Amino acid sequence: MLALTAAGMAVGLVSVLGEVAVRYRERHRTDVPGTMPFLFYRHARLRFALVRGMDYFGWVHVDSEGFRGPEVRVERSPGAVRIITVGSSTTLDGAVTNDARAWPARLQYWLNQPRPDQRVEVINAGVSGYTMVDQLIRLQVELYRYRPDLLILYEGHNDLFGALGAGVGGPASMTDTPGETPSVAPWTHWLTRHSLLYNKIVLRWQAVRSQETGARSTSASALSSERFRTAITRGAEQFEHDLSGFLALARSLGIRVVVLEIPNVSGPGALEERNPIVRDMWRTAVPFAPPDIVLYGYLCFNQVIKKVTDRFSVRLVPTAPFGLLGTEWYAAGDPIHFNDRGADRMARELSEALLASHVSTPGHGVAPER
């Protein structure tokens, strides 16, 4: 008993010291954290959502309504134009150094420059890990209440990566409860909400395991190219269905939508990447699929966006002219998440595209006409 008690106390002391050390490093580090576990909680309708009123060690602040950045009120400010940017981690923009550097915040800055008397409010509704169907659900249950003049949709990365993952996994596992929510033990739930050390260890282990599993799956499959293309086709069909549902819902709610072409480090229309540094970035980000297959997937998903926006007569903003090509605009080793420079360029170019043909009176929004 004495030995067990001593061992338990030693483990407890080491855990406390480790927790203190990792929290200190998280707040004082000079590079942006790769993971921010305390930001999320399990949601009744969505898989997860952003914790309200959370400040993640000074890197990301979530307001009381669940948006990144300064406090947002449900009621609109008189005379202001309200824009909501909807997307996943590339909209939340967790790789930039603070809230004000995220591209939705910079978009607000650039849109307010030409006419200081006409205030434009841009709300960052990005949530890491969301797919198109999550955005559809969130618009239905939450976002409609904020009555935006314009909704900017930037989505597709996670839908594509999910489709590529299905290409590796092959047929779905035999189960009578597909899509079941995993059970969470009380102690696991408590550690997830309160221990940064536990979260960092678990997330690191999951990342290493994913890299190893993906690399083995890709190298072991002789028919990987054909399987991936089939999976991309199926994923694109589901993405088309979900995007159509989102635009139909927005139309029924009277919300105008602008959809962005999906950018990446190689360019939205690229089918081959010859730069070895960039190829390594793709292998790290998507270890279960060859880089050229990933780029083919982006081409297919952007074609779906073009097809659906044409069908709904919704404005599609091409991002290829934005010049977001090459590693200088993206976080280190990351082919899709902007650094500070990339976020500002994204915002500046998008603001110019919106202001080139907009309706800026309150109640109509900054929305390009087709």
Reported as a single tens digit per residue, the pLDDT across 312-353 is 999 999 999 999 999 999 999 999 999 999 999 999 999 999
When pLDDT is cut at 50, 70 and 90, the band that residue 267 belongs to is very high
Q: Are 55 and 122 in contact (CB under 8 A)?
A: no
| Of 82, 153, 68, 144, the residue nearest 118 (C-alpha) | 82
Amino acid in the structure at residue 255? I
Q: How confident is the model at residue 179, as a pLDDT?
A: 76
By three-state DSSP, how is residue 261 classified? Answer: coil
Q: Does residue 221 surpass a pLDDT of 70?
A: no
Q: Does residue 192 surpass a pLDDT of 80?
A: yes
The class level of CATH for 55-171+185-355 reads: alpha beta
| Of 129, 163, 174, 172, the residue nearest 288 (C-alpha) | 163
Query: Alpha-carbon distance 26 to 20, whole Å?
Result: 10
β pairing state of 60-61 and 55-56: antiparallel
Query: Alpha-carbon distance 339 to 79, whole Å?
Result: 33
Query: Alpha-carbon distance 231 to 241, whole Å?
Result: 15
Q: Does residue 151 surpass a pLDDT of 90?
A: yes
Query: Alpha-carbon distance 197 to 202, whole Å?
Result: 9
* Predicted structure pTM score: 0.90
When pLDDT is cut at 50, 70 and 90, the band that residue 369 belongs to is very low
When pLDDT is cut at 50, 70 and 90, the band that residue 208 belongs to is confident
Higher pLDDT, 325 or 213: 325
By three-state DSSP, how is residue 20 classified? Answer: helix
| Of 285, 364, 344, 369, the residue nearest 118 (C-alpha) | 364
